[in-house]
Amino acid sequence: MGPTIGATLLLALALTLTIPAAGFAATRGELDQTLDDLIRLLPGEYSSAPQARLEEESAIAPEARHLSVYWVLARVDAPTAGRNVLLQQVRRGGLEAEVAIEQQRLLVLRIDPSRDGVVAELRPLLVPEETVEAHRHPDRQHLLLLDPQVAAVCDWLWRRRGADLVATLVTHASEKPCQSMHAADIAGGEWILSEDELSVRDAAAGANGRPTWLRLFRTRNFGCSWLSSAGTAAPTTTFFEVHDRGGEYRLDSSTGGGLILRLMRGPLPGERLRGQRDVLSLSVVSASSARVHAESKSVGAADYAALSFADQRIECARR
């Protein structure tokens, strides 16, 4: 059984085992806790690069692989939209790709006792192109205005399922799956959120008929130092930051030879199915090919990685 199929089965099994018995509604205190957990867990930056690498190294057919994407879900100050508001920002192709303006949205969170969960309305923005990176620029947040021409017709309804939070896409009129929004927004109509991962169900099933999932891993920033004495009279030190889910830094061509430093935390092919922990790898690769010049690996929740190659030393530590 391949890694992707195994991960899908584990997600399906987790949902099956944690569905509550019929007739047991959540208390107001439980709903308050669900909202608090969402506000704590949902904000963050997420990358699917570990999944893209896993699928490539597992010999999955190119047409069945997931594109590497980078999501931002950031809490913002948008009082005209609501009290608990998140900005959704998507880059298809990774952190350095352009922002997908059609997926620039607000998530407005509120408790809905009548539906026994926490609702997150997915709302289009009036001027989405002017809100790119607004979560990093408070002076732009006054532009986070809802488009008055588009009514809220679909919600993500969040409920607690064991250790995870699970969202299902529903309409205001009923709890039937919503089909009225942009396909890139609704995907397969289901999200699963844990401490380190947001899994989004794909709109189309895989070749075996089972649902497939886009796996978005929470990123964490690392501060790095690069000590180089190649081609210089005296050693030079450069400081920079990368994230640990496929973050990259292009080493200066005059001393790095057109090389890229990559920091990647994620499962290796087959590792997750055997109950192993993630592996943190720090590598130096050619900018024009897949050649690996140097690499170091640490198992588990490592907060430090280092390697040496030629006359250079690179160290990265979690911020």
**Measured between alpha carbons, how far is 19 from 244 in angstroms, rounded to an integer?**
33
In the prediction, which pLDDT does 187 show? 58
- What local confidence, expressed as pLDDT, does residue 181 receive? 53
Listing DSSP states for 117-133 in one string gives EEEEEEEEBSSGGG-TT
Q: How confident is the model at residue 22 (pLDDT cuts 50, 70, 90)?
A: very low
Higher pLDDT residue, 66 or 180? 66
pLDDT at residue number 276: 52
Model confidence, pTM: 0.84
Which of 11-25, 73-87, 297-311 is most confident? 73-87
pLDDT on residue 150: 77
pLDDT band at 205 (very low <50, low <70, confident <90, very high): low
What is the per-residue pLDDT for 301? 82
In CATH, the architecture of 3-218 is: Beta Barrel (2.40)
Instruction: Say how far apart CA 188 and CA 155 lie, in whole Å.
Output: 14
In 18-100, the DSSP E strands lie at: 44-47, 69-75, 84-92
Tell me the average pLDDT across 127-137: 95
Instruction: Locate the domains of the chain by residue range.
Output: 3-218, 221-318
Is it the case that residue 248 has pLDDT exceeding 60? yes
What pLDDT is recorded for position 141? Answer: 95
Residue 131: the pLDDT is 95
Which pLDDT score, from 0 to 100, does residue 274 have?
45
Token couple for 20 = 């509550």
Residue 260, pLDDT score: 93
Alpha helices in the chain (DSSP H): 3-18, 28-41, 49-57, 183-186, 253-256
Contacts 24+ apart (CB under 8 A), 152-155: 152/108, 152/121, 152/123, 153/178, 153/180, 153/181, 154/121, 154/122, 154/178, 154/180, 154/181, 154/186, 155/119, 155/120, 155/121, 155/122
Q: Is 90 exceeded by the pLDDT of residue 106?
A: yes
Does position 247 have pLDDT exceeding 90, yes or no? yes
The answer on pLDDT for 254 being more than 70 is no
Mean pLDDT of 116-143: 93
pLDDT for the residue 13: 39
* The pLDDT of residue 96 is above 70: yes
Element (H, E) at 109: strand 105-112
Please say if the pLDDT value at position 125 is more than 80.
yes
Report the alpha-carbon distance of residue 90 to residue 139 in Å, rounded.
Answer: 21
**Per-residue confidence band for 119, with pLDDT thresholds at 50, 70 and 90:** very high
Confidence of residue 154 (pLDDT cuts 50, 70, 90): confident
Tell me the pLDDT of the chain averaged across its residues: 83
In the prediction, which pLDDT does 178 show?
54
pLDDT value at position 231? 66
